């Protein structure tokens, strides 16, 4: 005959109240942290002043005075030859401009403005389209600052100048 063993003492009665208390405590901590974060964020958005981690305001920086500007009247010229190809020059604001093909004489005049005391770079490059001598010239404020020539067919000529 089989004997059924008797059950020994079990793990004891469960305490549902203790585990529920732990869950409620954890929820309380999460809610407290969340509400505190929302309150702090709300105060920051309501106060537009700049602050640091220590709460002190950042120093106010005075606006920087504008740098005086200098303006140059510039004329780029090409003359002679049988025309020019790939004419490239420094235009307004130091942009590069290009004309693929042109008859000679050719010229373009423009105003260049830059910060006083900074170097301004002027450049004109062209390819001789055929026979004859192709001459480039840069005139700044009525003064010729660069002049060069090339006599070789398909030869390149370049005028350039940097001014303070």
Distance CA 130, CA 157 (A): 13
Which CATH number describes the domain made up of 69-163? Answer: 2.60.40
Residues forming a β-bridge with 136: 78, 148
Alpha carbon 19 to chain centroid, angstroms: 58
pTM surpassing 0.75?
Answer: no
pLDDT at position 158, please? 98
Outline where DSSP puts E strands in the chain.
69-80, 84-90, 96-102, 106-115, 120-128, 134-140, 143-150, 156-163
Distance CA 134, CA 127 (A): 8
Distance CA 37, CA 146 (A): 67
Contacts of residue 47, defined as CB under 8 A and 6 or more positions apart, other chains included, come to none
What confidence category does residue 3 fall into, taking pLDDT thresholds of 50, 70 and 90?
low
Give the start-to-end residue ranges of the domains of the chain: 69-163
Determine contact, residues 144/138, Cβ cutoff 8 Å. Answer: yes
More confident residue, 148 or 113: 148
The per-residue pLDDT for range 34-89, each reduced to its tens digit, is 555 655 555 555 545 554 455 556 667 778 888 898 899 999 999 998 999 999 99
DSSP 100-135: EEE-SSEEEEEEEEEETTS-EEEEEEEEE-SSS-EE
In percent, the amount of the chain with pLDDT more than 70 equals 63
């Amino acid at each position: 005959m089989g004997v059924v063993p008797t059950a020994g003492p079990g793990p004891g009665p469960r305490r549902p109240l203790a585990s529920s208390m732990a869950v409620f405590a954890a929820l309380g901590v999460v809610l407290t942290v969340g509400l505190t974060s929302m309150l702090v964020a709300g105060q920051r958005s309501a106060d537009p002043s700049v602050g640091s981690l220590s709460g002190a305001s950042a120093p106010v920086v005075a606006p920087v005075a504008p740098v005086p500007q200098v303006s140059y009247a510039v004329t780029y010229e090409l003359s002679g030859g049988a025309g020019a190809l790939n004419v490239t020059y420094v235009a307004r604001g130091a942009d590069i401009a290009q004309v693929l093909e042109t008859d000679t004489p050719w010229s373009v005049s423009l105003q260049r403005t830059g910060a006083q005391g900074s170097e301004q770079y002027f450049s004109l490059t062209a390819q001789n389209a055929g026979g004859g001598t192709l001459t480039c010239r840069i005139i700044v404020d009525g003064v010729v600052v660069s002049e060069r020539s090339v006599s070789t067919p398909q030869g390149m000529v370049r005028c350039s100048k940097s001014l303070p």
